[in-house]
Every structure is written in C-alpha cells, then in structure tokens.
C-alpha cells in the first residue's frame, strides 16, 4: 500500500521506492494511464505539487518525496440530490460502493428521472458537506441489486474506468435460474448485440460484441426445477448474464424479457461481491453485498464465502 493522507483539498502521496526515478508525467501517463485531457488539466492548472511547490513534471522523483494532488475541489452537481435509503459497503475520500436496491435505475435515463442511485449518492454526499459530482463506474440493470462502484472525483473516475476496461475489477453475481444445469461449471463465450426486433432486448449475435460469462452451480432444487449459480464476467455487456443464461436454456427466474417464468417479482440477479485494488492507495478492496429481498432458496448461501 502507498503511504497517503488527505490535507484539506489536497491528497498527499509519499513516493515509494517502486516510483524512484519516475517523473510526475510518467506516473500520470504510464503508471496510472490517465486520459490526455485530464492529465493536461492537472498539468496546466498546477494541480500537482512536490514538497509543497508546483511540480516540474519531467524531473525524476526520489523515494520519500511528498507529492500533493489537488483532488477535493467543490463541483457543481450534475443531477438533483434525492433521498433514498441505501446501504454503503465501502467508502473513503475517493470512492464509494453502494448495495443497490432493486427497482431503481443506476442513473437518470430521461429528464425528470430523479429517483435513481446516482441521485441518492449526490444527496448522501451533500448531507456530509461533500459538494462533488459523483460518477458511476459501472451499471446494474434497474431490477438487479447489489454492489456498485462510484467515484468521488475525476481522477478516481478515470483510474477506475481504466481498471474496468482492463478487467481489473472483479464482479461476482448470484443468479436464480430456471431448470437444472447439466454442466455444473462452465464458460459461455458468445457475442452479444442488439435485437433489431425489440428496443431494449439484446441477443447472441455473430455481429455483436465479444462477451464471456463464467458460472458455477451452487445449489439446486429438482422439485421446483430451479438452481442457484455463481457468475463472474470477463466483459461487461448490457444484459450479459441475462442473455447468456437464456441462450443456454436457463433464463433468470422472473426475467420475462428473456424467457424466465414470473415465479419471482424481478429478475433474480444480485451483484454479491466486488473486488479490486484501490487505484490511489493500492489497498485490496473486497465488498460483499448482503441480499436485499432474497427468496427462500438463497437462505443457505453466504455472500462472504463467494
């Protein structure tokens, strides 16, 4: 882990031995792979200091040097804060992980759509005196519950976006599916594209985007012909788990859009675990999201064991 601390609006990092002789430019462009636009703004606006003085971005750094980055400026909210009671699984100065309830969107999809998790996140920060334009890093469908990651400032957002792109953020889901799977563990590697016959559906399509879903059966109920499976993804396509499981003949219970029977009040999908290395402290973060409205078959499943 890096040695770090918050000093007012500034975030201080003590340069570790692994960064010895690396420049500030090298940290932003190579180690963190920050987008050019954000890197340019930090450089031209002198938002990086070394030992309290504006940094020369091209001078090699020495172990023990104190690098300060201006991260915690107030920002105008991009959406209306709205109170929704949401459980917090992890929080620090840079990011926050919520346990999203079902039946709310991750973010507004239209004008006047203010009852979303993003609105709730804005309200939560405002109530704490943090005037930030909070950003979601990934999405969960409206009816899907569980762990979801937000960034509190642009640099954290950029670093987490890159980690998501590089598949460095691992998401594990629990799904209640129709039927008993013949193969108890496997991988579904099928491209996913839009269904031209339906505005919101996706489907397996040779012309679609590459998509990989791994799964493992955890519990079965032969009498009711339902199973609980654990899923984890190498990609993050829209409706990926729903499409892939429907494709192999085991749609999610309650997911009528993809062939599931209405035996559950929503698509039975829960983002149970989120794990990643913190982009600014290098701490390993593991979040387990407790079930919010689990059916009886989930009772013997502990998210902490996933």
- How large is the average pLDDT for residues 157-162? 96
The pLDDT tens digits of the residues spanning 45-62 come to: 999 999 999 999 999 999
pTM recorded for the entire structure: 0.93
Residues 71 and 156: their CA atoms lie apart, in Å, by: 9
Residue 154: which pLDDT band, with cuts at 50, 70 and 90? Answer: very high
Residues 29 and 165: their CA atoms lie apart, in Å, by: 16
The pLDDT tens digits of the residues spanning 264-287 come to: 889 999 999 999 999 999 999 999
Residue 306: which pLDDT band, with cuts at 50, 70 and 90? Answer: confident
CA distances (Å), origin 125, targets 69, 109, 162: 21, 21, 24
| SS3 state of residue 12 | strand
273 close to 290: Cβ distance less than 8 angstroms: no
**Ranges of each domain in the chain:** 3-70, 172-270
DSSP 8-state symbol, 60 = P
Structure tokens at 125: 């920060």
- How large is the average pLDDT for residues 224-241? 94
Q: What is the fold of 172-270?
A: Pseudouridine synthase (3.30.2350)
Residue 109: which pLDDT band, with cuts at 50, 70 and 90? Answer: confident
Residues acting as catalytic residues: 141
User: Which residues are CB-neighbours of 38 under 8 A, at least 6 positions away?
Assistant: 154, 155, 158
Q: What is the fold of 3-70?
A: 3.10.290
Strand-pairing partners, residue 238, are none
Q: How do the residues of the chain divide into helix, strand and coil, expressed in percent and rounded to 5?
A: 20, 30, 50
- How large is the average pLDDT for residues 137-154? 95
**Does 187 score more than 90 pLDDT?**
yes
């Amino acid at each position: 882990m890096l040695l770090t601390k918050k000093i007012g609006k500034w975030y201080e990092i003590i340069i570790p031995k692994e960064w010895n002789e690396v420049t500030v430019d090298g940290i932003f462009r190579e180690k963190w792979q920050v987008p050019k636009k954000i890197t340019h703004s930090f450089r031209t606006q002198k938002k990086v200091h070394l030992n309290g003085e504006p940094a020369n971005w091209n001078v090699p750094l020495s172990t023990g040097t104190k690098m300060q980055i201006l991260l915690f400026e107030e920002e105008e909210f991009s959406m209306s804060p709205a109170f929704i009671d949401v459980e917090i699984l992890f929080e620090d100065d840079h990011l926050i992980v919520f346990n999203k309830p079902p039946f709310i969107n991750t973010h507004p999809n239209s004008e006047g759509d203010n009852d979303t998790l993003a609105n709730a996140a804005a309200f939560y920060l405002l109530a704490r005196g943090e005037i930030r334009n909070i950003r979601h890093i990934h999405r969960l469908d409206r009816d899907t519950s569980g762990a979801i990651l937000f960034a509190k400032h642009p640099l954290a957002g950029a670093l987490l976006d890159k980690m998501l792109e590089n598949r460095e953020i691992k998401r594990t889901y629990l799904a209640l599916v129709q039927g008993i799977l013949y193969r108890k563990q496997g991988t579904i590697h099928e491209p996913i594209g839009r269904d031209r016959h339906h505005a919101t559906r996706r489907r397996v399509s040779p012309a679609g985007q590459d998509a990989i879903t791994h799964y493992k059966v955890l519990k079965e109920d032969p009498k009711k012909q339902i199973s609980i499976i654990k899923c984890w993804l190498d990609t993050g396509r829209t409706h990926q788990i729903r499409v892939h499981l429907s494709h192999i003949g085991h749609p999610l219970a309650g997911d009528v859009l993809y062939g599931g029977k209405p035996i559950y009040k929503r698509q039975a999908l829960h983002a149970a675990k989120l794990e990643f290395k913190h982009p600014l402290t290098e701490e390993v973060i593991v979040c387990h999201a407790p079930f919010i409205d689990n059916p009886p078959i989930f009772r013997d499943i502990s998210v902490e064991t996933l």
